[in-house]
Amino acid sequence: MELVIDPLQVEAYGLSLDQIGTIVARSNRLVAAGTMDTGQGRFAIKVPGLFESGADILEMPLKVSGDAVVQVKDIASLRRTFKDPDSVARIDGLPAIGIEVSKRAGENIIETINEVRALVAAESQAWPPQVKVTFSQDTSQQIRDMLGELENSLITAVLLVLIVIVASLGLRGGLIAGIAVPGSFLIGIMMLAGFGISINIVVLFSLIMATGMLVDGTIILVEFADRCMLNGMDKRTAYAEATKRMAWPIFSSITTIIAAFGPMAFWPGTTGEFMKYLPITLSATLFASLLMAMIFIPCIGALIGKPNLEDDHMKAEQLSAEQQLARARGLDWLYLIALRGALRHPVMVIFGGLGILFCTVVAFMNFNAGVEFFPDVEPEVAQVQIHARGNMSVNERDDLVKAVEREILVMNSEHRELRSVYSVTKADIGGRSGGEELAEDVIGTIALEFGDWDKRRKVDTILDDIRTRTAPIPGLRIELTKEDGGPGGGKAVALQLTSPDFVALEAAAEIVRRKLESMPGLVDVQDSRPVPGIEWELDVDRAEAAKYGLDVTAVGDVIQLVTRGLKFGDYRPDDADDEIDIVARFPSDVRNISELDQLRIPVNGASVPLSNFVERTAKPKLALVRRVDGTRVIDVESDVKPGVQAYAELETIRAWLATDTGIGPSVSIAFKGEEEDRAESANFLTLAAVATMFLITLILLLQFNSFFSVFLVLSAVVMSSIGVMFGLLILQQPFGIVMTGIGIIALAGIIVNNNIVLIDTYDHLKKTAKSRHEALLVTGVQRLRPVILTKLTTVLGLLPLVFHMTIDFTARDITLGAPSTQWWAPLAAAITFGVLFASPLTLLFTPCALELQGRFYDWLARRRGVRQIGPEPAQAE
């Protein structure tokens, strides 16, 4: 409710603003006057005085002289109006009122948005037909699409794994082993529910990643039980013997994987909060697979187990397992030939393997595709931030935002790539938009919601088009920011400058900014220095004002009548649920800068010019002062152009800072934003890798009680890590701090299973074999199939993600390049190439290392003159 006061009438009636405000405030009250006890009853007494209508305000008496009464309506007019706008919103170019809804942490976003839609649908029934409701940036649909893509990938992974198992172990054995997948999922999801974790994108990918690993233990168990049954054991005895004989290999192979992922559950920071579901989900499902392999599968196998007697390959394997190597067939025969040749020249094989590893490392160091923090995922939304400087009104700012908005709408009319264009013009400085802190000179933002990713241009192309179209608009700087695909930590390049000397700090910020602007790979450079501007300062001569009976408050009150208005009280109209302010203002024609000097303050029936004791001066505007730990700071930030890696640009900046840059010695520079998160994640993953190796070493020592065997098992970790480098070279993918780092640590637990199975089998066979050479050959051929099967299932479960492929079983469609696959493809590729590279090497490297160990012990025995007890040394063939 705006009370427009005529200053001439106030002066004519000899009123003061303080008098008017006091009368209005004291008259707009409900006085609880207490109670009266008459002895015959007790009664409450109140004096109602609240304004019930606009007429009550206008008829309020202000001054009485004889029979004449001066009322509010004699000096002012009253109107119901809107407050001065502090922002202007439009959607798709039409005026709008925007309500931005955020969910609480831990709440279901899909359920939240459904409730919002239901509420709006119910309330909008009573709205006029001209009012339209648009839902912009509805992330529930994006999440549904991504969950659907991951669910299809999960189904694909399960089917591929089951097909391979059935093809290798036969229908009955394959189904027994395959039960481990749904059984482990069921137990694992129940454990997650117990931890209070619901299904999300990271959990779904974790299930995909775990699919191929869940059958490792059951494959080893079922394959060994089949061998026992072909040797004449009944199914109950066979599965009991398999459980007893394979208990340690199964326990070690699964617990080493859990040991690889376990430390990652303690990942700190924003990235850790995002990724923690991966180790928790994998640990839960892998523990469930251990229960399945050691308890449930033996029980099921004892009831329905039966070897595949019609499989010629199985028969050949049984013959080779009984040390009838001459009758090996197929893949066993090819491997047997290669293994015999390798065992003749173990030194050559080992050094040849080391040479391959060395060459791969050298090639990666010279031809790698760089480093990235997190995969660059095709976003669904982006934001245009419009920067401009100067003391502009809201309308002036909105005109500039409209100019940018028009170019975007024209582009959209040509390409139809945007679902919505939501623009907001701001009157104040700073603040936040879309969860991001805005710079002081941002006058408005435009949120862009893109259409389906497979029916439009790439987002980088669209943003480049917008940048080109808006470049001719004078006086503006356009900053385009994409939605972070993961745990975003701010700008790609962010430097924080601190110094107790503000002059040196500003000079350093200018030097750093110029350097960043000169780098061709950087774009949208900005800093947090105070934005140039002016503000009017009214200095009151207190002594002179006191002569007129005035003070600073009286001066401030009259000035507020020219600016935002002076609040006299509250008023609740009949058609509103909330109170509205009663604000007094001067007419709009006197609300300007030039009128400040002409203002007059009513005093004792007269009026005094404000200029008698107030001096108006223009001063530099200082809006925000940033400090960290009590020291002034200035941030200088920028993004990188599409295709440019932030890590390379940061290395260039580091090298430049090491030279004579002209920055004063009192200025300290620290890297923040994405680089800070990258360094934190890299340090944590390094510690996690050390913890993983320590835990795996403990598990292996418990099993083998041999440092040589532990060293030999862990050698596969080095091979798999170099295999990741080989894969990055082939695919020309950058090394991802988060995804590739997780993949390398995961491989430490996955790849050691090969050597665990080989060494455990060799330790048993060498006690009964005729020679060490024969024991190694039988070990290799006998364990070839379970090694290949366990690693093949791991790879097949991830292969669709490696090729960015999604099979939609509902729509019967195959999609390439979906955003969900872009998130996880680097991690899947790291594990896939690590397994494919290291597995063939370990199948030859490990037997050769065991052969050299045996030869060394033989040499020691001969040197000491002690007759060897046990298997004879291998003979050259």
How far is CA 664 from each of CA 175, 261, 572, 667, 669, rounded to the nearest angstrom? Answer: 72, 46, 60, 6, 11
Using 50, 70 and 90 to split pLDDT, how confident is the model at 432? low
- What torsion do the CA atoms of 346, 349, 354, 359 make, to the nearest 10 degrees? 170
Q: Where are the alpha helices (DSSP H) in 435-478?
A: 459-470
Structure-model confidence comparison of residues 793 and 698, the more confident one: 698
What's the CA gap between 490 and 487, in Å, rounded?
9
Q: What is residue 722's predicted lDDT score, i.e. its pLDDT?
A: 92
**Within the chain, which residue ranges are assigned CATH 1.20.1640.10?**
141-306+336-374+678-862
Q: What would the mean pLDDT of 163-181 be, rounded to a whole number?
A: 80
Location of structure tokens 């006085």: 31
Location of structure tokens 């800093």: 527
Using 50, 70 and 90 to split pLDDT, how confident is the model at 607? confident
At 557-567, the pLDDT tens digits run: 888 888 888 88
Q: Which two three-digit tokens encode residue 690?
A: 């050390």
Say what the pTM is: 0.79
pLDDT at 36 > cutoff 80: yes
- Mean residue pLDDT across the chain: 84
Q: Which two three-digit tokens encode residue 654?
A: 């580091």
**Taking the domain 381-533+624-675, which CATH number applies?**
3.30.70.1320
pLDDT at 43 > cutoff 90: no
Q: At what angle do helices 819-864 and 330-344 cross, to 10 degrees?
A: 50
**Do 503 and 491 touch, CB atoms closer than 8 A?**
no
| DSSP type of residue 872 | B
Burial pattern 641-655, b for ≥16 Cβ within 10 A else e, equals beebbbbebbeebee
What's the CA gap between 645 and 492, in Å, rounded?
9
Q: What is residue 508's predicted lDDT score, i.e. its pLDDT?
A: 92
Q: What is residue 485's predicted lDDT score, i.e. its pLDDT?
A: 64
**Do 696 and 260 touch, CB atoms closer than 8 A?**
yes
CB hemisphere CA count around 212 (13 angstroms)? 28
At 641-654, the pLDDT tens digits run: 888 888 889 999 99
What's the CA gap between 411 and 464, in Å, rounded?
12
Q: How many residues does the chain have?
A: 877
Among 306-315, 367-376, 385-394, 495-504, name the one with the lowest average pLDDT.
306-315
**Within the chain, which residue ranges are assigned CATH 3.30.2090.10?**
2-81+534-620
**Within the chain, which residue ranges are assigned CATH 3.30.70.1320?**
381-533+624-675
Location of structure tokens 């009214």: 538
Location of structure tokens 């494919």: 836
Burial pattern 1-31, b for ≥16 Cβ within 10 A else e, equals bbbbbebeebbebbbbbeebbebbeebbeee
What CATH class has 141-306+336-374+678-862? mainly alpha
Fold of 2-81+534-620: 3.30.2090
Beta bridge partners, 741, equal none
Within 390-476, strands assigned E span: 418-426, 432-433, 436-437, 442-450
Q: What would the mean pLDDT of 389-400 be, rounded to a whole number?
A: 87
Q: Which two three-digit tokens encode residue 400?
A: 């500039």
What's the CA gap between 35 and 41, in Å, rounded?
10
